[in-house]
């Protein structure tokens, strides 16, 4: 009897073993790579989005940043500068005068504010004449600049020379005389003297005895009020002819003899009311 069951038991064991083997094979098949070629006809690939380096910043925030810049304090500063530029254009005539005399360290200018010349002792008729002269010169300068701009020579030496000739100081000095012109400069708070800051060694001024701190009062026969006056006087007449230079030194006028021509000094404008 036992001999009949032995083959049956062996068959059961073999069947169970075969079942385990079948299960293992199915697991191996499930872990195998998927055949993508067979699926390609059913799956639609998704293309990755390609973006340029600039596209990483959204378009709308860029617009917002521009708006912020336009409303920033820097924009307000630009508006302020433009306003100042507009104000400066209204003073173009006085600036042109400085440019016309750019070769000299000192340029004559109109008074910063309207002085009370009547309170300074000037006759009303003289005050009216001063205003007429200045208005006339202002109009002439405007016409000169307009014509030079239209004809294309506003940046030329010819224009600068013509502008220098429209110098209010010369006309006023001729009209008032030296003494009243000196009073006018003082009344308007403008410099009326040239002071020697330093004397160059071996120069004409050094040989003549001019000293630091001297104030030039007269050169030859000309009263000296401005740098332009001094430059014109030294360039007039014959080169190296002896002339007298009158300087104010410690409240006293001192006469010195010097050859006409460059002095060899550094100078600066000062105001002298004659109180010393």
Structure tokens at 191: 């410099």
Alpha-carbon distances, residue 73 vs 78, 86, 192 (angstroms)? 9, 20, 45
Per-residue pLDDT of 215-262, as tens digits, reads 999 999 899 999 989 999 999 999 999 999 999 999 899 999 999 999
Q: DSSP 3-state assignment of 269? A: strand
pLDDT 10s digit of each residue in the chain, 276 long? 544 555 555 565 655 555 555 555 555 444 445 454 444 444 445 454 544 444 444 444 444 333 343 444 555 565 556 556 545 544 554 444 444 333 333 334 455 456 688 888 889 999 999 999 989 999 999 999 999 999 999 999 999 988 888 877 788 888 899 999 999 999 988 899 999 999 999 999 999 999 999 999 999 989 999 998 999 999 999 999 999 999 999 989 999 999 999 999 999 999 887 655
Homologous superfamily, domain 191-276: PDZ domain (2.30.42.10)
β-pair type (265-270, 242-249): unpaired
Gap between the terminal Cα atoms of the chain: 159
Could you tell me the sign of the dihedral formed by the alpha carbons of 44, 48, 50, 55, in that order?
positive
Q: How many CB atoms lie within 10 A of CB 205?
A: 22
pTM for the whole thing? Answer: 0.54
Alpha-carbon distances, residue 64 vs 56, 101, 257 (angstroms)? 16, 50, 76
The strand pairing partners of 253, in sequence order, are 248
**Which stretches does DSSP call E strand in 86-125?**
none
**Domains in the chain: boundaries:** 86-190, 191-276
């Amino acid at each position: 009897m036992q001999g009949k069951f032995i083959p049956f038991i062996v068959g059961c064991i073999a069947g169970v073993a075969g079942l385990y083997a079948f299960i293992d094979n199915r697991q191996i098949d499930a872990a195998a790579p998927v055949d993508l070629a067979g699926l390609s006809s059913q799956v639609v690939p998704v293309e990755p989005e390609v973006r340029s380096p600039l596209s990483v910043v959204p378009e709308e925030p860029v617009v917002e940043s521009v708006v912020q810049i336009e409303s920033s304090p820097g924009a307000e500063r630009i508006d302020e500068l433009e306003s100042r530029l507009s104000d400066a254009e209204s003073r173009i005539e006085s600036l042109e005068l400085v440019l016309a005399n750019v070769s000299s360290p000192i340029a004559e200018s109109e008074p910063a504010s309207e002085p009370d010349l009547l309170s300074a002792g000037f006759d009303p008729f003289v005050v009216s004449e001063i205003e007429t002269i200045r208005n006339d010169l202002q109009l002439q300068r405007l016409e000169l600049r307009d014509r030079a701009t239209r004809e294309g020579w506003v940046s030329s030496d010819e224009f600068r020379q013509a502008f220098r000739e429209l110098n209010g100081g010369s006309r006023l000095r001729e009209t008032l005389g030296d003494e009243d012109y000196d009073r006018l400069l003082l009344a308007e708070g403008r410099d009326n003297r040239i002071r020697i800051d330093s004397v160059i060694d071996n120069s004409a001024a050094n040989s003549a005895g001019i000293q630091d701190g001297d104030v030039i009062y007269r050169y030859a026969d000309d009263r000296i009020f401005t740098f332009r006056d001094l430059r014109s006087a030294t360039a007039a007449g014959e080169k190296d002819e002896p002339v007298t230079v009158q300087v104010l030194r410690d409240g006293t006028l001192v006469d010195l003899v010097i050859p006409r021509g460059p002095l060899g000094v550094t100078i600066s404008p000062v105001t002298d009311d004659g109180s010393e």
